Amino acid sequence: MGLFSDVGRKVEKTKQAFTDGERAEYVCVACEEPLDENYEYCPRCGEDSVEPAA
């Protein structure tokens, strides 16, 4: 588990550059853009439709 959390921390910093949906924690329900933060407004379409992906 120690190794996993180390990798997880690195991914946390870099995944913003490649949000491909697999690791996204949030998603815009308007345009289905995967997001790594709970944006108040979707950075892609501008709708306030960001919801937790899970």
Contacting range for Zn ion; rule: CB under 5 A; set: 1-9, 12-20, 21-29: 21-29
Contacting range for Zn ion; rule: CB under 5 A; set: 1-9, 10-18, 19-27, 36-44: 36-44
Residues 15, 35 contacting (CB under 8 angstroms): no
Quote the least distance from Cβ 28 to Zn ion, whole Å.
3
Residues 23, 36 contacting (CB under 8 angstroms): yes
Distance CA 3, CA 12 (A): 14
Among 15, 30, 34, 39, the residue binding Zn ion under the rule CB under 5 A is: 30
Quote the least distance from Cβ 46 to Zn ion, whole Å.
7
Q: Which two tokens stand for residue 47?
A: 């709708």
